[in-house]
Amino acid sequence: MTEISLELVPRSEVSLRKELEQVRNKFPAIERINIPDILRFDLHSWDACSIASEYFPKTIPHLRAIDFDPNVPLELVESITRKGVEAVLVITGDPPQDMSHKIYRTSCLEMIRRLKRELPQIKIFAGMDPYRSGIKEEIDYILAKRDAGAEAFFTQPFFDLRLMEIYQGFLQDFTIYWGVSPVLTENSRNYWENKNNAVFPPDFVPTLKWNRNFARKALKFAQSHGGNLYFMPIRTDIAAYLDGII
């Protein structure tokens, strides 16, 4: 059974609760909420997931490995266990623009291993980036993350089904949450292409219609391959984007 997750940005508790209420009432097919940890917002991902758990039974906070000092106790252990978080998503994390924010050389693999030791009851998910490097290098990195203890993978958003099919051929034995995110302006497309090296198909146009059609195709793809899907509607009206699709 395909699980559908939705990524929500924790701008504030008020805005988060408003979106959670909307999603719960309008999209019962969504089973999980995943929340990134964004430095410019005061609400940590694990605290936001505590709020989200009031609305949805499954939540998953993102943890940035570079934010955690490997030589001191994990302060979030008590917070996570007390708030009933059952899974976390470990990513490396981008260096902050404001370098007054302390970061460490903690790798994603080190963070996964540490969480497996200190929070063995928690499911560990990790990221998969089809644009980071070559296909072989990324598959090798995924294997290393699985060896470290990762049980499932959230991908960076895909915009081309052909690329999804290529990766699916290598990931048949993995639990995958395929990412989909609407791109509705040329500036947004430029961001994905230049910052993340994303690949768009020749027929792509930055319209809601194109992105809704792709969302339908991606959901069908995940269902046909026994995978899962998560939507990342950045700055997009959730109802306008997903109504009639899920």
Whether the predicted pLDDT of 1 surpasses 90: no
| Mean pLDDT (whole number) for 112-140 | 94
Would you state the pLDDT for residue 20? 98
Alpha carbon of 33 to those of 162, 200, 244: distances in Å?
27, 26, 19
Q: Per residue in 185-208, pLDDT tens?
A: 999 999 999 999 999 999 999 999
Q: Per residue in 10-36, pLDDT tens?
A: 999 999 999 999 999 999 999 999 999
Mean pLDDT, rounded, of the chain: 94
| Mean pLDDT (whole number) for 151-177 | 97
Would you state the pLDDT for residue 128? 97
Whether the predicted pLDDT of 2 surpasses 80: yes
Would you state the pLDDT for residue 31? 96
Nearest 5°: the CA angle 11, 180, 221 is: 150
* CATH code linked to domain 4-242: 3.20.20.220
| Mean pLDDT (whole number) for 110-123 | 94
Q: Per residue in 30-80, pLDDT tens?
A: 999 999 999 989 999 999 999 999 999 999 999 999 999 999 888 777 777
Answer whether 0.85 is exceeded by the pTM: yes
The percent of residues in the chain predicted with pLDDT above 70, rounded, is 98
The percent of residues in the chain predicted with pLDDT above 90, rounded, is 85
